[in-house]
């Protein structure tokens, strides 16, 4: 990723990702990339619109404009606190925002963003950190006043926390199915809830060797 921004490529380490993955595919290697729910909090800059409007924004510079944050903010797809302010936890990118996956429109948008990977030869998606993890507070108290759309009920994160990862996996699965209808989507998830078998396989989380 470019600075831990999801749906981007590091231009120094992976300047030609499609070409690289095409070479790997010829060797029988199928690439799976991790996608976290934390979208880097990067307030919109009026200086740079080009990256947001280009056909392949995942490959362009991100210092002045980050298309995923810009689009999600414009469409009001991110979680908010009860007072209406954006919920800004911290994960790998630093200050971040989470998508409200209870919004059908947000799930479709998130799913379609995977074009940034599929167009460049990625075979599958690995959802990580999707409890969701928050470096500010591991107890969940920092999320206690977060509100989700929840079919119009505008309910608390306490109610929706368990389905956060389920709906993220659903968004991912349905996005891959739309973008590549001739192939069965391959999705892995760290967190889940009842019904996850419809959208993803699981692994048990990071463990220590003893």
| Distance of alpha carbon 22 from alpha carbon 119, whole angstroms | 11
Point out which residues pair with 40 in neighbouring strands: 96
* Token pair of 19 as six digits: 């070409």
pLDDT in tens for each of the 210 residues of the chain? 999 999 999 999 999 999 999 999 999 999 999 999 999 999 975 545 544 456 788 777 767 789 999 999 999 999 999 999 999 999 999 999 999 999 999 999 999 999 999 999 999 999 999 999 999 998 888 999 999 999 999 999 889 999 999 999 999 999 999 999 999 999 999 999 999 999 999 987 778 888
* Calpha distance 61→191 (Å, rounded): 31
Dihedral sign computed on CA atoms, order 178, 180, 185, 187:
negative
For tokens 């030609």, name the residue.
Answer: 16
Task: Give me the residues paired with residue 33 across strands.
Answer: 125
The model's pTM: 0.91
As annotated, the active-site residues are 128, 131, 206
Question: What gap in Å lies between CA 104 and CA 127, rounded to an integer?
Answer: 19
Opening angle at CA 166, ends 208 and 174, nearest 5: 120
* Other residues' Cβ atoms within 10 Å of the Cβ of residue 197: 9
Q: Which residues does 181 contact at the CB level (< 8 Å), separation at least 6?
A: none
Specify the fold of 17-197. TIM Barrel (3.20.20)
């Amino acid at each position: 990723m470019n600075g831990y921004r999801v749906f981007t490529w590091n231009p120094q380490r992976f300047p030609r990702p499609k070409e690289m993955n095409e070479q790997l595919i010829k060797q029988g290697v199928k690439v799976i990339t991790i996608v976290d729910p934390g979208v880097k909090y990067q307030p919109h800059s009026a200086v740079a619109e080009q990256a947001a409007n280009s056909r392949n924004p995942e490959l362009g510079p991100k210092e002045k404009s980050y298309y995923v944050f810009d689009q999600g903010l414009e469409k009001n797809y991110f979680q908010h606190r009860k007072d209406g302010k954006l919920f800004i936890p911290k994960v790998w990118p630093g200050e971040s925002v989470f998508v409200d996956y209870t919004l059908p429109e947000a799930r479709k948008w998130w799913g379609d963003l995977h074009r940034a990977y599929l167009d460049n030869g990625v075979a599958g998606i690995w959802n990580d950190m999707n409890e969701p993890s928050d470096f500010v507070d591991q107890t969940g108290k920092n999320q206690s006043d977060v509100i989700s759309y929840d079919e119009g009920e505008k309910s608390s994160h306490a109610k929706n926390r368990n389905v956060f990862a389920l709906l993220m996996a659903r968004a991912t699965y349905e996005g891959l199915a739309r973008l590549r209808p001739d192939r069965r989507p391959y999705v892995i998830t760290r967190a889940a809830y009842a019904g996850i078998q419809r959208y993803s396989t699981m692994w048990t989380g990071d463990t220590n060797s003893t």
